[in-house]
Amino acid sequence: MENIQGKIVVITGASSGLGAETARHLVKAGAKVALGARRMERLDTLVKELGADSATAFQVDVTDRERVDAFVKDAHAKWGRIDVMLHNAGLMPMAPLAANRWQEWDQCIDVNLKGVLYGLGAVLPIMQAQKSGHNIFVSSVAGHVVNPVGAVYCATKTGIRVIAEALRQEVKEWGGRTTILSPGAVNTELPQSVKAEGVSQMIADFYANSSIPADSFARAAVFALSQPQDVDINEILFRPTAQAM
């Protein structure tokens, strides 16, 4: 915990689930957080809970590159530096490829991949100028194990791991660090993004029977961030004990 005290952490997808719970854990450990998401009313509620001295809110859709850039710049202007960015915003639209749900494909790629790239484009110049910075990426067990209704989602989560590994090698010269967090079924709103008939109920039932609380993810993030500067935790893969795949 001592290495988290005073850190400035930017979080996308911060209005609920993994992002909100991680923000709570980080503030408790002494960090300050910049919270970004589309649902401003939820962000405002979270800022009230965490305290205005420790949290700020910014309305952002990660598919809008200019808004992502403005969010990161706003956080930097507020706190004077950015130590960590948690690239958390994501969707999980699952369906057979033959269903041809192309609008969901576009949205999944825009949020899960391009949103991460936009975040990196905004924050890396700041971190490089500081000669320090830690990027945390949210992949998934689905970035390691492919399932027949998850082709596009699994592809994006595998892609995140590729981006993170390339960045890991790129930032070594100035002391940057990267962590991939790959959770299994965690109790969040993510299953609600599954809309395909039949698949949505299957996923909902699986999460109802197997998921673990969001603080499991937050504790993994805190562990990675609490390491001294010479330790780089590159990936944590974890599942509910009850999850076989």
Catalytic machinery residues: 153
Pairwise CA distance, residues 156 & 162, whole Å: 10
Pairwise CA distance, residues 158 & 141, whole Å: 9
Contacts of the segment 240-245: beta carbons below 8 A, 24+ positions apart: 240/184, 240/185, 240/210, 240/211, 240/212, 242/209, 242/210, 243/141, 243/184, 243/185, 243/210, 245/141, 245/145, 245/147
Whether residue 120 contacts residue 84, with contact meaning beta carbons closer than 8 Å, is answered with no
Supply 50's token pair: 């965490």
